[in-house]
Chains A and B, each alone.
Chain A
Amino acid sequence: MKIHLPNSAFLGNIDPFLRGFDPSDPTSLTITSNNKWISVHPVVLSMIAALGLTLPPDRIHFDPLEAKSKHYLVRMGLFKMLGIPSSINVVEHEPAGRFIPITQIMTSDEISRFITEMIPLLHLEAEQAQTIGYIVSELARNVIEHAAAPHGAMLCAQYYEKSNSIRIGIADTGVGIKKTIGQSHMAATDLQAIHLALTPGITGTTPKEGGTEQNAGAGLFFIKSIAFVNRDYFMIYSGGGFYKLLKRISTKHMALHADPFKDRHSIGSEENPFPYWQGTVVGVDITLDQTKEFSFLLDEIRKTYGSAVRERKRQRYRKPKFI
């Protein structure tokens, strides 16, 4: 496998980075980087860490870093997670830089602990903490419950002062969304599976409306909705499928859509899928000064969710055939 850390890869311009990923030869990983400057979304680091955990350290080759920003990768714990030396000395100071280094999460209790510790590290206010905690909980629990990922979830986050936003990335090398959703629904491609996974009330655990006792199929819809309302980016990548929620154009009228393809978005087309990612990757941005009140968001979700369930029921309704 080969992956290149570019000059810049954030959710708005992440497509070339993902397109450049070479998943062939899963027995080794070569990481190269831009030699001037590296500025990347946390999801990029989560992905590299997730790939690295599938291999022993002696099968990972990290080209010597030239870029001035190499210290950032050390602070985010990339080398530590990969188990390889960085040859970069960093003087550790108070972790008040408002970031969460790459963290491996394997169990349900680790998620709860991570959320508790994360809030003070990111210096979040109560309303913001609620939103970010919600996102992290739902994303990490998806991995633990559905991904069958031998190395769990790799998660990291960073506060960006200039945009006053928190950017979160989570990656796993589990079975991927197509296999999970495919247990209960028809999904011929990875993109179709992503489409279903983002639709409220669709879960891989059952074809029944309302879900099972433990799963409703609403988590990803909630997260996409949070990003939509706040006019932020959200991306999900699994197998060869890729979906990115683009920033909503500001209008007075704002309607949530149950169908993710009705939102402003970009995808990797069926004809031109992305390089195959064994597992699932999710990235999300939350701009803090735009964060709408969570309770306002819930009103919108309630309306959309209800009408989505009713619409599916209407579609399943069959009239008797009189001949």
Chain B
Amino acid sequence: MTTIRIVDEAGIFAENKDIARSIRLQKIIPALEHHEEVVLDFSHVTAATQSFVHALVSDVLRKFGIGILDHIAFKSCNDTVKKIINIVVDYMQEGMEGEN
């Protein structure tokens, strides 16, 4: 299992998309390619932008399919962060339906 502490990478306000991209490319995707479970730990993150979450996970969903969500856990998210993640996952699923 790979656990990624978002606060260590992006600070308490997770808004830097370049950092999100780097987490995705250097940590999330390699771990999933090795069939590891991924835990995105949002402890101490007070807020995140939709752009950050999009840059963090949208391409993962597109590459591996929506079923990959069974192998990713979002840990210790506050209500706001949970809602942002839900928005991104929602619109990605809506958009991906019928893409293939």
**Chain A interfacial positions (CB closer than 8 Å to B):** 108-109, 111-112, 115-116, 126, 130, 133-134, 137-138, 141, 145, 200-201, 208-211, 213-216, 218-219, 222, 294-295, 298-299, 301-302, 305-306, 309-310, 313
Contacts and interface: CB of A to CB of B under 8 A. Distances in A.
A216 B58 contact: yes
B91 A137 contact: no
Contacts of A130: 13, 46-47, 80
B12 to A, nearest CB: 9
A63 to B, nearest CB: 40
Contacts of B75: none
Contacts, number: 106
Interface of B: 11, 13, 15-18, 21, 24, 46-47, 49-51, 54-55, 58-59, 62, 79-80, 83-84, 86-88, 90-92, 94-99
Contact of B87 (A209, A215, A301): A301
A302 B86 contact: yes
Contacts of A112: 11, 15-16
B94 A209 contact: yes
A142 B87 CA distance: 20
A134 to B, nearest CB: 6
Secondary structure call for the B interface: helix
A298 B84 contact: yes
Given A218-B50, A219-B51, A298-B83, 12 more contacts: A112-B15, A115-B15, A134-B49, A141-B15, A145-B17, A209-B96, A209-B99, A210-B96, A219-B50, A298-B80, A302-B87, A306-B94
B90 A306 contact: yes
Contacts of A310: 94
A130 B14 CA distance: 11
Contacts of B62: 210, 213
22 contacts: A108-B16, A112-B16, A130-B46, A133-B13, A137-B15, A201-B91, A208-B99, A209-B96, A210-B94, A211-B54, A215-B51, A216-B88, A218-B51, A218-B54, A218-B91, A222-B50, A295-B80, A298-B80, A298-B87, A302-B90, A309-B91, A309-B94
A215 B54 contact: yes
A55 B59 CA distance: 41
Given A115-B13, A214-B17, A138 B49 contact: yes
A216 B56 CA distance: 12
Contacts of B59: 213
A306 B93 CA distance: 10
Contact of A108 (B17, B58, B88, B92): B17
Contacts of A201: 91, 95
Contacts of B86: 302
